[in-house]
Amino acid sequence: MSALPWTPFYTQATASGKAVENTESLLAYWAVAATVAFTVLVYVFENYLDARQKKSYHVTTFPKELETTVSVIDAEPPKQKKEEEAKTDEAKGGDEAKKPEIDQHKPLLPQLQAKFTKSQAYGLDKINFSMFSSLYDTAETVSFLLLGFLPFAWDTAVALGETYFGYNEADDEIKITLIFLGGVTVIGMIMALPFELYSTFKIEKKHGFNKQTLGLFVSDKLKGLVLTAVIGGPFVALLLKIIKVGGEYFFVYVWGFLFVFSLFMMTVYPVVIMPLFNKYEPLSDGELKTRIYGLADKLKYPLTKLFVMDGSKRSSHSNAFMFGFGKNKRIVLFDTLMQQVHDDEILAILGHELGHWKLGHTLTNFIVTQMYTGASFYAFSLCYGSNDLYRAFGFDGEGREVPTIIALMLFFQTLWAPIDKILSFALTMFSRRCEFEADRFSVGLGMSKALQSGLCKIHLENLGALCPDGWYSTYHYSHPPLVERLSAMMSLDKKTE
């Protein structure tokens, strides 16, 4: 490995014992070394950001800027009668065991300060785990590249297909691809399992978030595998078929197929797949339900159904989301969210989410995703016939065509990877901008104070980072840090006074 070009330990040529003529193309010469170098470079950069974030978790003093900001919120709490909050608690079940640690009637600042140490400890555990898992992932990726895992896995799938099903590599490539992907998926799941178990049953449980039993964890994994086979198998088969028969402009047909599939999944996933993992029940009749429908009517959001999801079945983290097409929109509230904040704050949070819809963020993100998909497959079409790239990674068997799935995997792992990193960062920055705009929209609805207090409570309950490193948050956070959002809303409040 000291001299270029680097060659995987296992290649189809070495496995067959037949020498292959060396190529002098720059792509073949640099492909493996450049891919390894880029992978390590990304790891080093992201590890540096992780180290900065880890340092911020060692801070023991509550952030002064956040203290000043939250003090303003405490000085002007949202106006909601305690009698109404009591009714809300009763409507939500009134279960003492499910009540959050936050006291709705006390100032937020002392509660945030009291949770600061816990928040820092939680963040430190997560960043330490993330740094270790990132090191492992990088080592695994580089090892697989240098050992020739892909050509070995493909040749194994070919042998299994020939031995047990009578498949021929030339005529049954798609069927062999499904065997290959099935094996790679299972291997990947097994190798990731220790990390998922530690994260769920060690870190999340230690800090009071995990509610999932081992049985439920295993059940989720099995359901995921079945869904991957039932949906992923036909999807991959159709995708590869389109690429093979689409001719020179196959990327156009692929884009059309993926566009239709995206719409299909956006429709089916919330209605068919998500209920396999969680229970969705209609929100009980009452003031909250009436006010949510009133807000939707005010914004002309065609809300048809309003659900509560048993998020507490797995975790005490909270969330809310919307889905649906045309005039059939739905809103889902986590039961944990309803326990953590009161009605005014739920309305303000939904005002923020509806702002994304009203301002076109949802549609814009969908369009950007489709453009990204089209651009990536157009770029792939330009490289599809580049046998030098595939030979460099061990697919150099004499007289053997490179499998389409391998061509796709190597393209996205090598040539497209730097572009993907740049575009992903650009999308993260765009997402942060959208969050500020949605906050501004909620402020425009007269919900500023309630949104501010609601965000603080969610942050408090979820032990969110209260003093994140600037570089780390800019690179990783799709949502701006809490203090930035609060400060922006307060500036808007001053302008409207």
Q: Phi first, then psi: what are they for 315, rounded to 5°?
A: -155, 160
Check: CB of residue 109 under 8 Å from CB of residue 64.
no
Cα–Cα dist 350/330, whole Å: 12
Task: Report strand pairing: 280-282 vs 328-334.
Answer: unpaired
In one-letter notation, the amino acid at residue 138 is T
| Known active-site residue 90 | no
Q: What is the DSSP letter of 63?
A: P
Q: What amino acid is encoded at 203 in this protein?
A: I
Distances, alpha carbon 179 to alpha carbons 153, 165, 462, in Å? 10, 11, 41
User: Mapping DSSP to helix (H, G, I), strand (E, B) and coil, where does residue 331 land?
Assistant: strand
> Per the residue annotation, which of 173, 335, 353, 435 is the catalytic one?
353
């969908």: which residue's tokens? 366
Is 396 a known active-site residue?
no
Residue 150 phi, psi (nearest 5)? -60, -50
Structure-block tokens of residue 293: 């429908």
Q: Give CA–CA dist 419/415, Å, rounded.
A: 8
* Strands of 320-325's sheet in order across: 280-282, 303-309, 328-334, 320-325
Residue 407 contacts residue 24 (beta carbons within 8 Å): no
Q: Let me know: does 456 contact 483? Beta carbons within 8 Å.
A: no
Burial class (CB in 10 A: 0-12, 13-18, 19+), 249: exposed
The one catalytic residue in 50, 169, 344, 439 is: 439
155-192 per-residue burial string, b: 16 or more CB within 10 A, e: under 16:
bebbebbeeeeebebeebbbbbbbbbbbebeeeeeeee
> Are the CB atoms for 409 and 236 separated by under 8 Å?
no
Q: Distance between CA atoms of 299 and 149, rounded to whole angstroms?
A: 54
Bridge partners of 328?
325
Closest residue by Cα to residue 101 from 115, 87, 116? 115
Integer Cα distance of 138 and 145 in angstroms: 11
Q: Which residues form the catalytic set?
A: 353, 439
